[in-house]
Structure 1
């Protein structure tokens, strides 16, 4: 059945720099930033990282990076500017990325 896998309407993520982190611990920092996972949404379905540029697809709340250094990585849009990683089975992981501000020049 065509479209059976579709999760909703196509959309775009808010442009800007996204900072990624794992939850911290009760005895330490609240968040453990992971700069190697940071990325920027640069335009219509485009992103960039320190390793290069690529494209993504936002279907409903599911983000799939389709080309470039993050190809195959999947995330769930929790709210405007807040994403959480997903595994192949759709289970949410620990990594979260939030829009930290406009694209740095």
Structure 2
């Protein structure tokens, strides 16, 4: 009996750690991210600069110089602290599609617009200048 219990404990310790619920943890490409509402064949996309942000090191983002953190599990990105805390996105290819409170996709999409300045103090609105 004791031998079986010891064997079971050894197996538990030796077992590989399971992935976090929601998928593997990832990061998003650093740089400026600009957001827009999509257009169609006759109308260009409509910029939404109040939703722009910068991705910086350490799973963090900046909005107007204020830092927050994000978590990307599988293809679901959640801004966990900072000015956009609670916002969720679906990563689709190289874009982020905003999710509503019900988890359904909204029209807003964000794409990486380029590298950020080295000082990491640039605000998301700098891309529009």
Q: TM-score scaled by structure 1?
A: 0.86
Residue 31 of structure 1 corresponds to 45
2:123 alignment counterpart: none
Q: Note the aligned Cα RMSD (angstroms).
A: 1.9
Tell me the alpha carbon deviations over residues 23-61 of structure 1, each in whole angstroms, 9 at most, x when there is no partner.
135543x20001111000011210001161100000000
Please say which structure displays the higher CA radius of gyration.
2
Alpha-carbon offset, residue 89 of structure 1:
2.0
Aligned length: 100
Aligned mates of 1:74, 1:12 — CA distance in 2:
14
Counterpart of 1:67? 81
User: Which residues in structure 2 correspond to 1:7-86 (within 5 Å)?
Assistant: 7-28=22-43, 30-50=44-64, 52-80=66-94, 82-86=95-99
**Structure with higher helix content:** 2
Which ranges of structure 1 fall in alignment gaps of 5 or more residues? none
Query: Secondary structure in 1 aligned to 2:80?
Result: strand
Q: Residues 26 and 79 (structure 1 numbering): CA distance in 2 closer, same or farther, change over 3 Å?
A: closer
